Amino acid sequence: MTEESLYGIHAVSAALDSRELLELWVAIERRADDRVAPLLQKATEQHLPVHEWRSTALGRRLNTDKHQGVGGLLRAFPGQDFETILAQLDGRGFLLVLDGVLDPHNLGACLRSAEAAGVDAVILPKDNACPVNATVRKASAGSASRVPVCTVTNLSRTLSALQEAGFWLVGMAGEGAQSLYTLDLNMPLVMVMGGEEKGLRRLTREHCDYLAHIPMMGAIESLNVSVATGICLFEAARQRRNLSAQHVGQEKFA
């Protein structure tokens, strides 16, 4: 397995908070920096080894001179097992499928949105998709370790298993017949997003119960996948939260 590392004050801080690091690396010249000292404290609390180098040596280790004086060695990514996730959800929940997202920054941003919107798990195909590497984990600001992420070999079979378990699949496509905002998303839901260039693949489309689009104004025909994912997830979260609040109100006045 290739050793993976990340660098930068914010990225290292998020990785420490998510307990993603095996080791902390610090430039000797920056050890007393007000932004570095809290990272050293977190590493001490987690009993992590701390290695010190001159700034130029740390730069060679990380292959960048923009490390801000800190870096770290990442733990192996803790991918989840699909069957375990399916059993835990028991036919309920809110999932995100990313069908062929290739850019690591897009994938990281999608994982951040997934955590913020309350997604229970994210499913990725093994082939023709970006793996959850160091760049993704940096872009996700720790969300990659806080949201269960599983990689599956056969996405079509996985989608069929989700439907058999009681989930409804909503695929997002520009030519989708329904508006995202007219769909009832308060159900056992799988939001299915396509990749940057090709969108949803044919077999993925055929598995979806609904194909929907995001209404847009102006001359723009499509959105960046991470932007579109955020919009879709938060619309689903809004609907689900509002219905839950209504139920609470009904219970109070019953």
Integer CA distances (angstroms), 78 to 10, 26, 73, 81, 130, in order = 21, 25, 15, 10, 16
Has residue 254 been placed in a domain? Answer: no
- Shared domain check, 52 and 106: no
For range 207-231, the mean pLDDT = 92
Question: What is the count of structural domains for the chain?
Answer: 2
Model confidence over 36-90: pLDDT tens digits? 999 999 999 999 999 999 999 999 999 999 999 999 999 998 889 999 999 999 8
Give the confidence band of 248 by pLDDT, cuts at 50, 70, 90: very low
pTM of the model: 0.87
- Shared domain check, 87 and 48: no
Has residue 160 been placed in a domain? Answer: yes
Percent of the chain with pLDDT over 70: 94
- Shared domain check, 116 and 52: no
Model confidence over 76-135: pLDDT tens digits? 988 899 999 999 998 899 999 999 999 999 999 999 999 999 999 999 999 999 999 999
Domain of 212? 82-248
Q: Report the pLDDT value the prediction gives residue 222, as an integer from 0 to 100.
A: 82
Average pLDDT, rounded, for the chain: 92
Q: Report the pLDDT value the prediction gives residue 198, as an integer from 0 to 100.
A: 86
Question: What is the CATH number for 110?
Answer: 3.40.1280.10
- Shared domain check, 94 and 61: no
Beta pairing partners, 244: none
Q: Which of 17, 44, 74 is the last residue of a domain?
A: 74
Question: What is the CATH number for 61?
Answer: 3.30.1330.30
What does the DSSP assignment read for the chain?
----EEESHHHHHHHHHTT-EEEEEEEGGGTT-TTTHHHHHHHHHTT--EEEE-HHHHHHHHT-S-STTEEEEEPPP-PPPHHHHHHHHTT-SEEEEEES---HHHHHHHHHHHHHTT-SEEEEESSSS----HHHHHHTTTHHHHS-EEEES-HHHHHHHHHHTT-EEEEE-TT-SEEGGGS---SSEEEEEEBTTTBS-HHHHHH-SEEEE----TT-----HHHHHHHHHHHHHHHHHHHHHHHHHHHHT-
- Shared domain check, 228 and 138: yes
For range 227-252, the mean pLDDT = 77
Q: Report the pLDDT value the prediction gives residue 108, as an integer from 0 to 100.
A: 97
Q: Report the pLDDT value the prediction gives residue 244, as an integer from 0 to 100.
A: 56
Q: Report the pLDDT value the prediction gives residue 247, as an integer from 0 to 100.
A: 46
Amino acid at 139: A
Model confidence over 200-214: pLDDT tens digits? 999 999 999 999 999
Give the confidence band of 29 by pLDDT, cuts at 50, 70, 90: very high
Q: Which of 43, 74, 105 is the last residue of a domain?
A: 74
For range 21-26, the mean pLDDT = 96
- Shared domain check, 214 and 197: yes
- Shared domain check, 48 and 97: no
Q: Report the pLDDT value the prediction gives residue 249, as an integer from 0 to 100.
A: 42
- Shared domain check, 195 and 89: yes
